[in-house]
Structure 1
């Protein structure tokens, strides 16, 4: 029995998913559910799990070290001259977009005046929470807590799904690997964000905003560079050697 070929989602589908996620994130944030969640795990003297060994050492520092190794391996894969299921140009673009996603999160974070929940007066700190979209308004704390850096150690790799979910013209591929990459990255990012929420480092909305920032950089960059990926004479067909 012949297997029916699957098609990647329509070009606008990924942008639609991003838009729906953005709307849901806005609804979550404006509903006040961040504070409800944080109050359920924190007290007036702080967060009991802030320095829990399995959260701080294993699922925070350990995961961050693993992400660093994966990032290094990604660039080795991107620059490796051997053939693979993806052309070298596509590998370069994926590695570039991962780098830009991580950079974008770090730049926003370093400029942010939003402080972490463990610095809020509600939990024994000194800061009065100020919505992060009120750019330039300080909350009285140390700031630099928006978006979630730890969540970006997973969400930053969302570009890995694009060669299969938005393949260049003339490069037909089964979308299944892309869906697996997407699911793995999203689940890992949500778990990383949950770790930081339990520790009092970030409200849940910060994790969702990190997903939005990383996916926006990846989607926009892939769309911008797609003409270069689909330039004439550069698309490899099955069974032929891919051009650089």
Structure 2
């Protein structure tokens, strides 16, 4: 029932359509190269922000540490409320869905990074590296180094928290758009930082956004059967 409601949700189709159009423009249409070229030129035709203390230490390394702490807190709260499920069923289910969504988002992005073999901008000859550029669906020659730059792993540290939209929608509806803004702002800031460092193209970030959004939507539907039925009736 949950899966049926999920695949029949028109927002999913609309979101995927917009994502695929954006991917076509950015990858096949050259939007990725155009934007990265602008960043590269602004930095003096080098990735001068690659080792910068703010982009590398604060927005990359320190942001990951903060994310680990936040995820640990969510897991602790998930365990606590599930131990008291008899009196806190809504919170128990909501935190369980949040924990599952975060886990699925991080694991899915990491897995795809490991198998897609896509280079980062800083690896490319046009941006100071040594490799030719290949589109996402092109096969890379086996003699080239194996790269793990697609989708954007660090952006998932932000976009995974889009799940807060669905979390607050269940437990405190007036905060749901604050949750949405939190995930979007974190994802955009962390993703942009990596683009400025030469680590990713915009299409890498948008793919991570899509994966995190769909993971959150599906995981929360697993813990909200009543909401799923409502969606089915509407459609």
Name the TM-score, length of structure 2 as normaliser.
Answer: 0.79
How do 1:144-223 and structure 2 match up within 5 A? 144-165=148-169, 167=170, 175-223=173-221
CA contact (8 A) 1:113 1:138 kept: no
Of stretches 64-73 and 78-87 in structure 1, the one that deviates more from structure 2 is 78-87
Structure 2 counterpart of 1:25, from 15, 22, 27: 22
Does 2:71 match 1:71? Answer: yes
> 2:102 matched to 1:98?
yes
Kindly state the Cα deviation for residue 69 of structure 1 after the two structures are TM-superposed: 0.8
Q: Which runs of 5+ in 2 are unaligned?
A: 1-7, 230-235
Residues 7-53 of structure 1: CA deviation (Å, up to 9, x unaligned): xxxx9464256235414522441331211111122269741211111
Give structure 1 regions of 4+ aligned residues with deviation exceeding 6 angstroms. Answer: 228-231
Change (3 A) 1:71 1:138: farther
Query: Residue 5 of structure 1 aligns with which residue?
Result: none
Quick one: which of 107, 111, 117 aligns to 2:111?
A: 107
User: Contact 1:60–1:150 at 8 Å: present in 2 too?
Assistant: yes
Tell me if structure 1 keeps the 8 A contact 2:102–2:161: yes
Q: Report if the CA contact (8 A) 1:109-1:146 is conserved.
A: yes
Q: Which of 100, 122, 130 does residue 126 from structure 1 map onto?
A: 130
- Whichever of the two has the greater Rg, that structure is 1
Aligned equivalents of 1:157 and 1:213: distance in 2? 12
Q: State the alpha-carbon separation in 2 of the partners of residues 90 and 14 from structure 1.
A: 22
In the TM superposition, residue 138 of structure 1 has moved relative to its aligned partner by 4.5
SS of 2:224's partner is helix
Count of residues in correspondence between the two structures? 213
8 Å CA contact 1:109, 1:145 repeated in 2: yes
| 1:40 equivalenced with 2:38 (yes/no) | yes
Unaligned runs of 5+ in 1: 1-10, 168-172, 232-244
